[in-house]
Amino acid sequence: MRALLLHPAAKPLVFVLCLLPLAWLVYGAATDNLGANPAEALIRSCGDWTLRFLCLTLAVTPLRIRTRTPQLARYRRMLGLFTFFYACVHLLSYAWLDMGWVAADIGRDILKRPFILVGFACWLLLLPLALTSFNRAVRWLGGRQWQTLHRLVYLIAGLALLHFFWMRAGKNDFAEVQVYALIIGALLLERLLRYFTPRPNLSAR
């Protein structure tokens, strides 16, 4: 597995796999296979994939530590950027298909509907993480400041879950919400356990 993760073709393959959900949605839209309300299907599917990629991004570090596979860290940045990418497609699909690019209507809708306000806040918080995801930004900010900034991902995860919950509340459909809540809750708990677990004092050996 470690050799496969380091293979030169591994990253391009993961990149292509990450684009498949969008390709499938575009194909569905082009062939009129997105159901009775294709606009809603496109907007919500992009939102679902944003949440899935967010979970995958959060899972990289725990999996890397638990499986002792440091090679997984090579894919965390890519998954994080795809989280932002699908969030952008989700937002643009809403602005185009729901609101017709009318900025005043978009602004009023964001302020009027809490679940859209929370979703927009998630996008705003993802923006600085995406802009500082490159090595030059790490050097410019410094390692400690960069890590502090990127811990916003845990706040984003909570807000994304709230956005999803409020969106599904309108139809009283919480089955998927519970699944994502369990996944995100487990990932956050794992992070807290690692934070509060004393590290071995190597200097004392």
Q: Please tell me the predicted confidence (pLDDT) of residue 97.
A: 94
Torsion sign, CA atoms 36, 37, 39, 44 = negative
CB of 126 within 8 A of CB of 156?
A: yes
* Count of CA atoms in the C-beta half-sphere (13 A) of 163: 23
Q: Residue 201 pLDDT more than 90? A: no
Nearest to 162 by CA among 49, 51, 21: 51
Least confident of 55-59, 74-78, 134-138: 134-138
**pTM to 2 decimals?**
0.93
